[in-house]
Structure 1
Amino acid sequence: MARPKEAPGLIGELAAEFAGTLILILFGTAVVAQVVAGGIGDHDSIAWAWGLGVTLGIYVAGRASGAHLNPAVTVALAVFKGFEWRKVLPYALAQTAGAFLAAMLVRWNYDEVLSKVDPGHTIATQGVFSTLPGNGTLPVHEWGAFRDQVIGTAILLFLVLAVTDMNNTSPAANLAPFVIGLIVVAIGMAWGTNAGYAINPARDFGPRLASFLTGYETAWRDQYGNLYFWVPILGPLIGAVLGAGLYQALIARFLPSVEEPEPGTVPTEREAVK
């Protein structure tokens, strides 16, 4: 009889976070490149591809690391769910590295069409990789986008905790990633106007860095010339803690207790039916 494998350890967890975020960003940035540069698809295809990217990334990383795929999720779990603080920075770095590599692959693969549509690699196609206030065209400035990112990420974490809380009516383990993907689709369809629903510092900073290193000189600024890269970093971090805190205050503390898995992990099928 085969011996059960031991827990993956920190290196295994970081590899899973890297790979899961890589998958997420491969789908997310590529669909925007296809719409913006190739003229194929629309806003709905962007929302669905981002949501499916989240689902697939969670299926990749869920068992090994909990599939945070987002530094804001990691911080919120450390604040409220007992996730180890010593792992927060390594998780965030692994997530950002996965996002960076994915964006580099998309930049390489879509180089011909991006260069055709936007030869100067300007802010016109910068949105393929990173977010802008008002999606680069609408009259929203950095503080309006910051407000939007706080709210959007608070919604994300409130719902993610609801879906993964074994004390609540969470879905079976194999459906949780799909439901979380639907949450991201819904946020994209309802909260995508003011700031492009980054709701994830790694999702924005990794691709933003990749675009800067491959010719997008305006990568750190918005269409008004203001430094903008900090908005989809700080806004989601604050919003995640607020959303998770609201869930704990309004829902979690009133629920009857059942045995829970390790903090920040996707529940197994056995745990889901307890």
Structure 2
Amino acid sequence: MDIPAVSEGWTIKPVKTGISSSHTLHTENIGTISQGTTEKELSSPSLDGVHSNIHGFSEPLNAQFTPRVVIEHEPQPVKELLWTKIRTKLREPFAEFFGVFIMILFGDGVVAQVVLSDSKKGDYQSISWGWGLGVMLGVYCSGGISGGHLNPAVTFANCVFRKFPWRKFPIYTLAQFLGAFCAAGVVYANYKSAITTFEGGPDIRTVGLDTSTAGIFCTYPAPFLTKTGQFFSEFIASTILMFCIYAMADDKNLGAGNLMPLGLFFLIFGIGACFGWETGYAINLARDFGPRLMSYFLGYGHEVCSTLVMLESTIDSNQVRKLRGAKTMFQTQVSVARLYYPQAAFDLSSSL
């Protein structure tokens, strides 16, 4: 439909476009709207002859824009320190090492205090409390990183029943042994003067006598126990340990949750108070073997690795006195008959 005609002479008023006078479009060919102009012609004016460039720009309007590409250099990889790599890969074994280290410091430390003070600074109950505290603090130190096993038996059981990676078992066990080994050395260094006084000289380190200090570091069975009795005593204590650990760790049961270390404290205290007298409740291969190996290097001799540790029954009282006053390392005679008659050996030692 045609729009009403516009009278001649009506010129188009300039529209402010925001373009400065130096960048205005040429409009000399647009002219005026003549009479009879249609809506189509008005909406689609012909731009023939109109310059297509803006003053100040040399490129035409329809030219395609080419983005500017900025080439950035890739960052060079940061070289990690050797200690950073070791700490990342061995984080869990380090946690086990320090967990066992803390446990042995408290455990062997309380035994040393009770033995060297001749039970004046503690008694058997103090030993049970000390070992319970050592286990609790060791789990607090390592539980959030490695799980706080602190025991090769616990690691082995987790590999069998809890799908713990078998590839971690050797390094966990090694870390536990090393932690116990080093902690025993620290305890010995702390109580060296007291041990020397108690033994009777700086070169005397004995096993199985009244003044022996080897029992500070590792466990030895009571003289009246048979081999079967020794095995059964440790088997019962270890079974109770593992059964209660998994019971407290079971969320479907009345689990200990965040109070797991506290539960282990009472568990170890209970085992020591109820099942620890006969064999010393080792219940932990790392806890016993690591300090036992350290005591061997400290001068206690090969007797620390022998099951025949109560050797008073093989020698008379005069030989005992000579050994106590000796200036060399502990040496003794071993009675083969004691292997078959341990009770008789105990009766003989009681009469000395």
Same fold (TM over 0.5): yes
Q: Could you tell me which of 121, 127, 132 is aligned with 2:215?
A: 127
The aligned counterpart of 1:166 is: 251
Match of 2:195 in 1: 114
- Aligned-partner Cα distance in 2 for 1:10–1:157: 28
Residues 236-251 of structure 1 aligned to structure 2 (within 5 Å): none
2:288 to 204, 211, 215: 204
**Where do residues 87-106 of structure 1 align in structure 2 (5 Å cutoff)?**
87-106=168-187
Aligned equivalents of 2:205 and 2:88: distance in 1?
41
Q: Which one of 140, 147, 153 corresponds to residue 66 of structure 1?
A: 147
Displacement of 1:67? 0.4
Structure 2: which amino acid aligns with 1:214?
Answer: L
Query: Structure 2 residue aligned with 1:223, among 310, 314, 317?
Result: 310
The aligned residue for residue 37 of structure 1 is 116
Cα pair 1:13 1:65 within 8 Å, conserved:
yes
User: Given that residues 133 and 142 in structure 1 are in contact (C-alpha distance below 8 angstroms), is that contact kept between their aligned partners in structure 2?
Assistant: no
Rounded to whole Å, the distance in 2 between the matches of 1:210 and 1:127 is 12
Greater RCO, CA 8 A, separation 6+: 1
Tell me if 1:180 matches 2:260. Answer: no
Extract unaligned runs of 5+ from structure 2.
1-86, 312-333, 336-352
Note the alpha carbon deviations across 1:124-171, whole angstroms, 9 max, x for none: 21110000111xxx4114432122111110100000000111121112
The CA deviation string for residues 212-237 of structure 1, in whole angstroms up to 9 with x for no partner, is 101111211222559xxxxxxxxxxx
Shift of 1:89: 1.3
Distance (whole Å) between structure 1 residues aligned to residue 96 and residue 244 of structure 2: 21
Change (3 A) 1:27 1:111: same
Shift, 1:85, TM fit: 1.0
Counterpart among 156, 166, 182 of residue 75 in structure 1: 156
Contact 1:133–1:141, Cα closer than 8 Å, also in 2: no
1:143 aligns with 2:224: no
Q: Comparing both structures, which one devotes a greater share of its residues to helix? A: 1
Aligned identity (percent) is 44
Given candidates 98, 107, 110, the residue that maps to 1:19 is 98
TM-score, reference length from structure 1:
0.76
1:107 to 1:67, Cα distance in 2 relative to 1, 3 A: same
CA contact (8 A) 1:163 1:170 kept: yes
What's the RMSD between the two structures over aligned residues? 1.5
CA contact (8 A) 2:251 2:257 kept: no
User: TM-score, normalised to structure 2's length?
Assistant: 0.59
Amino acid at match of 2:107: G
How far 1:38 sits from its partner (Å)? Answer: 2.2
- Aligned partner of 1:189 in structure 2 is 273
CA distance in 2, matches of 1:43, 1:207: 20
In structure 2, the residue matched to 1:52 is: 133
Unaligned runs of 5+ in 1: 1-7, 227-274
Larger Rg: 2
Q: Measure, in 2, the Cα distance between the counterparts of 1:164 and 1:19.
A: 22
C-alpha distance in 2, partners of 1:46/1:96?
Answer: 21
Query: How far apart are the structure 2 equivalents of 1:154 and 1:216?
Result: 31
Distance 1:10 1:58 in 2: 21
